[in-house]
Amino acid sequence: FKYDDKNANLFHELVTRTQGDNREAIEEAQRKLDAVQEAFDEASRTAEAAAASLKEAQAREADAKAREAEAKQAEADAIARENEAKAREEEALAREADAKAREAEALQREADAKAREADAVAAENAAKEREADAIARENEAKAREADAVARENDAIARENDAKAAEASALSSAEAAKATEDEAKKSAAVLAAREDELKAAQAEVEAALAEVKRQEDAYNAKTEELKKKSEEGGVVSRNR
């Protein structure tokens, strides 16, 4: 005979049925039965609590496994994101290195451009200095030309005086005029080139010297004619 919930009534009937002088034994048995029933109830409650705890533990275990799976997935996602971030970082470093290289190249090009600019400025300054020197030489040549023209004008004036004083010196004056015209042409050429101006100036000076020589000759000739005229007058008066 096994006591359980199904046989409780039968067991109770057996132990409570009247059996003469065994009442105390029956009561003792009833007490034991009650104790057993209470223990059974307690065991049932304990088993239910254990089952509930087991179910709760299983639920917690399932939840823990789910969270673990989520954590693993999150870890995998984090690793993937980390790898992606590393890849982006490597790409960014590569772009940064390329940008630095381009920046260095740009700086080098800028330095080259500045050097070329400095060379250009130096060349420009040198050109300006040469231009200023050329202008100075040109002004000097113009001054010499003006002086030559002034001397030429003076020579022309003296030549005109010589023409007015002596008609016979016309041929010499015309020659002097031709020389002066040549000097003018030479002076015009001098305005373009300094070397030619020097040559023309030399020609002008030579022409002026010739005019001076002719003027001196004319003056000498005039003086000689005056003396002869005076001597002729004296002779005439003596006769």
The residue behind tokens 């039965």 is: 33
CA angle, 127 then 133 then 138, to 5°? 120
pLDDT tens digits, 22-81: 677 777 777 877 887 888 788 888 888 888 888 888 888 888 888 888 888 988 998 998
Alpha-helical runs (H) found in the chain:
8-16, 23-165, 170-192, 194-238
pTM of this structure: 0.29
The most confident of the ranges 84-93, 158-167, 189-198, 220-229 is 84-93
- Rounded to whole angstroms, the Cα distance separating 180 from 200 reads 11
Predicted confidence (pLDDT) at residue 3 exceeds the cutoff of 50: no
| Nearby residues of 14 by Cβ (< 8 Å), 6 or more positions away | none
Residue 59: Cβ within 10 Å count: 10
